[in-house]
Amino acid sequence: MISKMKNINNENQLFKDFLIGLWKENNVFRILIGMCPTLAITTLAINGIFMGGATLFVLITSGLTISIIRNLIPSKVRMPVFVIIIATYVTVTDYFLAANFPTIHKVLGIFLPLIIVNCLIMARIEAFSSKMPIGRSFFDALGFGIGFTWALVLLGGVREILGFGTFLGYQVMPNSFQPILVMRLPTGAFITLGLLIALMNIIVNYRKKN
Amino acid sequence: MNSTIQSVLILTLICIFSAALLSYTYLTFNEKIETSKFGTIKEKIQMFFGNEISLNEIEIPSGLYQDNEGISRIIKVSSRNDRIGYGVIIDYPGYKSIIRMLVGVKDGKIIGIIVLENSETPGLGSEITRESFTDQFKGKSVNFNKNEIDTITGATISSNAVIEGISKYISIFSKKIE
Amino acid sequence: MENLILLFIGTALVNNFVLTKFLGICPFIGVSKQLNVAFGMGLAVIFVMIISSIATWLIYNLVLAPLNIIFLKYVIFILVIAALVQFVEIFLKKFNPNLFNAFGIYLAIITTNCTILALVLMNQLNNYSLIESIVYGLGAGVGFTLALIIMAGIRERLEIADIPKPLRGAPIALIIAGILALAFMGFTGMM
């Protein structure tokens, strides 16, 4: 009986770990870390999927690796160890995409190696993977990775719909729609993200009141 | 265990892990990357520079490509990590199509050119791919005089396009890059 | 020489790292609230950019390329940047504690500042010589500082303005950044 309860608790815990990155501590709209790729990549919704996917991969691989060896890393050298591991997996992703999906690689451009300094990864490793067992680390990484991805797709989606009239490549606006060119430019990125964050603030405050 | 020794040990292990994983990654994917980036262009560049070369595409400074003409790619050619020259891909409008040409540049001279793509008049304009025409460029300085190159009879516009395109953009290239 | 000046101006204004290339957004939003703080951060970034350009150029061209281990580029570069920042911190602490305190935490977070890593990677992608790398680093740093200072100046004024609650903080900063980016686009005509 007790072991059954323990199993359910474990699953609940894992599920909770997964959920946190999705909304409550969503790094794009709530905590605001890992900003650079957020603005640069999101001219199209599909780019959000590419960048989010790459980041998710690095989150999971480095998170798991560090979680496995977490007890062996003396506190003094944890930064170099984390950085080396993250940089290694980013390099792997870089080569893999360059070889097999050159279009994705080109779209991500310099922001692919910049995943190394994406504060999101370091933050999750520092706060979680370096201290938690692999099960929980995995779900934490998964949640934050997917949370990052959907935020990018949303931002990219808004910019794509308004800037090109399409979403994920499919025409969604009527033919008479005049694309709002500024959405394709840096200006559009900044303003859209600013407004989306404000929107999220409103939503969170509304839920708090009720 | 002494903390410093443990630190050094774990760092060394991580470095070895990283180096091993990355070497494996490099060996697995590098061939494919070179092919997808450069494809058949690599073979052509090898015709100019020899086989033992590695290629690196460099970003084109802005303003060198407008309205379907200009420098579309700049490929740095290195042999044993010494830069030995460049492969420059230039587009220029011909009689009926945009002509795409590869120019090998080394030490301020044109090693040779290859016309990569064109849809000029078959039998006339398309003759610009012939070595009898393209060989004329071998050894010319990057600032060569257009009069030094003979056009092809019956394909004046197409051959002039090649001459003009290369003359204009290779001199711009050598000013900006070299 | 003319080349270098164009490179500098182009990087600082036209291809501004923050407003055109989207690099360094985190410190841009986070540190641009006060003018003197922004200025200090900017100076620190300029300095780190220049020494990182030199160090990574040397390592890439004298070690990585000849030994054919370019695939270690990302790992080595980030370690070099981190090490440099550490040394600068230690050096400052010892010889100029005032400056060290002025920089405060900013020096440490420069390591994860994507601008530095992006800069050193672009130096090598663009095939710059050592001098060009240094000028590029200088231009990028100055551009970053410029964007930061303008932002800080505006935000200091905003402190006393009445902004709707949801927009306070990051949202309004981003919207301003957007307008700034629009303004900087005017520079493209220069080139």
- The whole-angstrom separation of Cα A40 and Cα A190 is 10
pLDDT at A27: 65
Whether pLDDT at A4 is above 60:
no
pLDDT at C13: 85
> Is B67 exposed, middle or buried, given 0-12, 13-18 or 19+ CB atoms closer than 10 A?
exposed
- Where do the H-state alpha helices sit in B81-144? 131-134
pLDDT at C50: 93
DSSP category for residue C21: T
pTM: 0.79
Interface contact C65, partner B, CB < 8 A: yes
Which of A76, A97, A182, A190 best tests the C interface by mutation, with the highest count of C CBs <10 A? A190
pLDDT at A3: 53
Helix (H) or strand (E) holding B78: strand B69-79
Chain B hits for C65, CB-CB cut-off 8 Å, are: 81
Complex prediction ipTM: 0.83
pLDDT at C103: 65
Phi and psi for C159 in degrees, rounded to 5? Answer: -50, -35
Q: Which residue has the higher pLDDT, B66 or A143?
A: A143
CA distances, C116 to each of A140, C45, C92 (Å): 29, 8, 20
Secondary structure of residue B112 in the 3-state scheme:
strand
- The whole-angstrom separation of Cα A123 and Cα B7 is 22
Q: Does the distance separating the beta carbons of C179 and A187 come in below 8 Å?
A: yes
pLDDT digits (tens, 9 = 90+) for C121-146: 988 887 788 998 999 999 999 999 99
pLDDT at A2: 57
pLDDT digits (tens, 9 = 90+) for A29-80: 666 666 777 888 888 889 999 999 999 999 999 999 999 998 888 888 888 8
Residue ranges in chain C modelled with pLDDT below 50: none
Whether pLDDT at A15 is above 70:
yes
pLDDT at C139: 92
pLDDT at A10: 67
- The whole-angstrom separation of Cα C29 and Cα A114 is 18
Structure token digits, residue B22: 């990355």
Q: Which residue has the higher pLDDT, A84 or A209?
A: A84
CA distances, B78 to each of A65, A142, B23, B52, B139 (Å): 37, 42, 21, 9, 20
Q: Does the distance separating the beta carbons of B25 and C72 come in below 8 Å?
A: no
DSSP category for residue B141: B
Helix-helix angle A134-164:A2-22, to 10 degrees: 30
- The whole-angstrom separation of Cα B133 and Cα B131 is 5
pLDDT at A28: 67
pLDDT at A8: 58
Residue ranges in chain B modelled with pLDDT below 70: 1, 80-81, 178
If phi > 0 it is left, if psi is from -120 to 50 it is alpha, else beta; for residue A26 that is: beta
pLDDT at C7: 85
pLDDT digits (tens, 9 = 90+) for A150-208: 888 988 898 888 888 888 878 888 877 888 888 888 888 888 888 888 888 888 888 88
- The whole-angstrom separation of Cα B125 and Cα B153 is 9
Length of chain B equals 178
Q: Does the distance separating the beta carbons of B25 and C75 come in below 8 Å?
A: no
Residue among A89, A71, A198, A189 nearest A141 (CA): A89
**Amino acid, single-letter form, for residue A123:** A
Helix (H) or strand (E) holding A119: helix A119-124
Chain B hits for C66, CB-CB cut-off 8 Å, are: 81
